[in-house]
């Protein structure tokens, strides 16, 4: 098995997210064979890294390189991802009585979504391990991101996508030179196709949380939020959760920073948002044991939320429990209304997934489940310019 020596990072090991059994950071790993659960990267948080160390660094997510798992700088595959803006939603805030409402807009990333963060780290590690072929199941944006980063890394890319996915996502993958395979069904059906194709382990499977590196890229949203808020976190973060890597990653970042002494005060309440057409986390939140029995997933205009059986379910539930958070589901009509409302009011054309967070906030407000004086941050995960077919 290929190994790498002489690490140049504060990463120390991989551990099973369920039982904490450790695995080598220097070998190619997917998920933990002990429990069949995701692996996470562990860092030495006593290394003396200071939050002031980032002040004059490059304005992208690789400014936090010590807290990322890439060992040698020459293996980094970057298109300039990260340091996306936090935009105040003043007009919407004033209209509905929120005193401090903002949105972190991930549409500023390469390939126009937050997927660029995780894929950048995963492809960088693939290059570091001299992997030649990657494969991914996708509802849209992750496939385009993997195709782009693999193109830059000179790694072959295969994308498996639901047939009903809007054409722009298919065209994007093909323009970057990826092999595109279409499957009837949702992303879980794409995952089954990949298992069939990858019986001989020909590909490195970059499925959500079935390798340990995309999570590390996504967590940089948490580092940026802390830095952009001058190390005083919001009271509430509302996040659109499909596979859940971003939700888990942001929480991982907050806990790492807390261990390093960078944060004081309580961590934010994490509120996950899903589509009513596909809300497995909501079902599991209500009934962790039997949730699959009465759950029938359907497609949604918010492609990224159409993840019926997320591999990181246990980790998402843990984040909600630790943060005293909850799950809200909104229907597709509300999501479309949210996209249009934010565009007409704030001049931002955001993704359906991002618009779902706004509608979830209004739901919380209508039920008096949120304090209007709290500092609230919404996450928009992608650009609305990719979704014209969904919004007709």
Segment 272-325, tens digit of pLDDT: 999 999 999 999 999 999 999 888 999 999 999 999 999 999 999 999 999 999
Quote the mean pLDDT of the chain.
95
The answer, yes or no, to whether residue 7 has pLDDT greater than 50, is: no
Please tell me the predicted confidence (pLDDT) of residue 316.
98
Q: Copy the structure tokens of residue 68.
A: 């990322």
Q: Is the dihedral of CA 255, 381, 287, 209 positive or negative?
A: negative
Q: What CA–CA distance (Å, rounded) separates 371 from 101?
A: 12
Residue 32 φ/ψ, nearest 5 degrees: -75, 120
In this prediction, residues 99-112 reach a mean pLDDT of: 98
Task: Please state, in angstroms and rounded to a whole number, the distance separating the CA atoms of residues 62 and 179.
Answer: 29
- pLDDT top residue among 265 and 329: 329
Q: How far is CA 343 from CA 167, 229, 311, 360, in A?
A: 23, 25, 33, 17
Q: Is the pLDDT of residue 5 over 60?
A: no
Q: pLDDT digit string (tens) for 126-185?
A: 999 999 999 999 988 999 999 999 999 999 999 999 999 999 999 999 999 999 999 999
What is the per-residue DSSP string for 345-359?
HHS--B-HHHHHHHH
Torsion angles phi and psi, residue 348, rounded to 5: -120, 120
Helix, strand, coil tally for the chain in percent (to 5): 40, 20, 40
Please give the pLDDT value at position 100: 98
Average pLDDT over residues 15-28: 97
* pLDDT recorded at residue 388: 84
Q: Tell me whether strands 100-105 and 86-88 are parallel, antiparallel or unpaired.
A: antiparallel
Domain 86-113+213-386 class?
Answer: alpha beta
Domain ranges of the chain: 86-113+213-386
Each residue of 139-157: b (16+ CB within 10 Å) or e? bbbbbbbbbbbbbebebbb
Mean pLDDT (whole number) for 329-350:
97
Of the candidates 203, 200, 204, 222, the one whose C-alpha atom is nearest the C-alpha of residue 213 is 204
Phi and psi at 317, nearest 5°, equal: -60, -35
User: How much is the pLDDT for 2?
Assistant: 43
CA torsion sign for 69, 73, 79, 83 is positive
Angle at 303 between CA 269 and CA 338, to 5 degrees: 60
The predicted structure's pLDDT at residue 264: 85
pLDDT score recorded for residue 269 = 98
Phi, psi values for residue 220, rounded to 5°: -60, -20
Q: What percent of the chain has pLDDT over 70?
A: 98
Which residues share a beta bridge with 350? 383
CB 172 within 8 A of CB 112: no
Phi and psi dihedrals of 226, rounded to 5? -60, -45
Q: What is the DSSP string of 148-211?
A: HHHHHHT-EEEEEEETTS-HHHHHHHHHTT-EEEEESS-HHHHHHHHHHHTTT--SEE--TTSS
The structure's pTM equals 0.95
């Amino acid at each position: 098995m290929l190994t790498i020596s002489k690490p140049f990072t504060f990463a120390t090991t991989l551990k099973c997210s369920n039982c904490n059994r450790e695995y080598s950071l220097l070998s190619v790993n997917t998920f933990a064979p002990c429990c069949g659960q995701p692996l996470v990267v562990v860092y030495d948080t006593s290394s003396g890294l200071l939050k002031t160390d980032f002040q004059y660094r490059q304005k992208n997510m690789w400014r936090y390189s010590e807290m990322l798992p890439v060992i040698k700088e020459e293996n980094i595959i970057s298109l300039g991802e990260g340091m996306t803006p936090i935009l105040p939603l003043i007009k919407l805030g004033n209209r509905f009585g929120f005193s401090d409402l903002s949105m972190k807009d991930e549409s500023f990333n390469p390939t126009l979504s937050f997927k660029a963060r995780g894929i950048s780290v995963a492809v960088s590690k693939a290059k570091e391990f001299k992997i030649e072929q990657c494969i991914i199941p996708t509802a849209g944006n992750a496939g385009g991101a993997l195709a782009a980063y693999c193109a830059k890394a000179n790694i072959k890319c295969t994308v498996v996508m639901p047939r009903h996915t809007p054409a722009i996502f298919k065209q994007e993958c093909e323009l970057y030179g990826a092999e595109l395979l279409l499957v009837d069904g949702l992303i879980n059906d794409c995952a089954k196709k990949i298992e069939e194709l990858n019986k001989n382990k020909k590909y490195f499977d970059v499925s959500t949380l079935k390798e340990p590196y995309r999570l590390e890229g996504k967590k940089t949203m948490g580092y940026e939020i802390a830095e952009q808020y001058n190390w005083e976190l919001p009271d509430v973060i509302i996040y659109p959760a499909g596979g859940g890597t971003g939700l888990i990653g942001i929480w991982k970042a907050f806990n790492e920073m807390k261990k390093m002494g960078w944060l004081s005060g309580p961590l934010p309440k994490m509120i996950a948002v899903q589509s009513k057409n596909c809300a497995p986390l909501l079902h599991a939140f209500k009934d962790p044991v039997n949730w699959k029995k009465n759950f029938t997933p359907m497609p949604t205009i918010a492609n990224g939320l159409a993840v019926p059986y997320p591999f990181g379910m246990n980790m998402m539930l843990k984040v909600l429990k630790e943060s005293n958070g909850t799950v809200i589901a909104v229907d597709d009509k509300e999501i479309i209304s949210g996209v249009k409302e934010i565009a007409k009011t704030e001049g931002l054309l955001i993704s359906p997934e991002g618009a779902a967070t706004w509608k979830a906030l209004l739901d919380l407000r209508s039920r008096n489940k949120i304090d209007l004086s709290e500092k609230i941050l919404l996450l928009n995960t992608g650009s609305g310019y990719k979704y014209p077919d969904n919004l007709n």
